Amino acid sequence: MRTQRQVVDYSLRRRALLRELVAGRVGTYDLCDASPYLKNAARFHGEPTDQRCPICRSENLTHVHYIYGDELKQSAGQARTVAELSALAMTLREFQVFVVEVCLGCDWNHLVEQYLLGRDGLTDGEPEHETVGGVAAAVGAGTRRRREAQR
């Protein structure tokens, strides 16, 4: 997404939990505890992935995007599709997105990442980040930091 910023990735925590499971220090019942609300959100608002579940290995995981923010009011805490997130990012100043992976077969669930979206990530008159050879080059990042420091 174009305005996605302050990304926090929880893949290291996920790997640590799976290592604990393999070592026998944690049981599958401790890890596979998705609530009925989360499973319904995955069915109706989730984005299917090509990743297999690390526990049952029989079903693909589904990503559910939950949104939180002051401007959302009653909509805070709801699951939204990626298409809805794009529309909200252009209309709201800032809101937090939490991505949870869910297996509908064995009830595995884990927080994958969180990030900020919204118009506050866009700046007037500055070029966007350009990708060169798979590496993002921050064009104008120094001027943006100076402008934010002046505010």
Among residues 145, 69, 61, 144, the alpha carbon closest in space to that of 114 is found at 69
pLDDT tens-place string over residues 89-109: 888 889 999 999 999 999 999
Residues 29 and 108: their CA atoms lie apart, in Å, by 9
Buried b (16+ CB within 10 A) or exposed e, 21-30: beeeeeeeee
Tokens of 111: 């927080």
Q: Look up residue 44 and give its two tokens.
A: 């109706």
Helix, strand, coil in percent for the chain, rounding step 5: 35, 30, 35
126 φ, ψ (degrees, to nearest 5): -100, 145
Tens of pLDDT, residues 11-70: 999 999 999 999 999 999 999 999 999 999 999 999 999 999 999 999 999 999 999 988
Regarding pTM above 0.95, the answer is: no
Q: How far is CA 36 from the centre of its chain?
A: 20
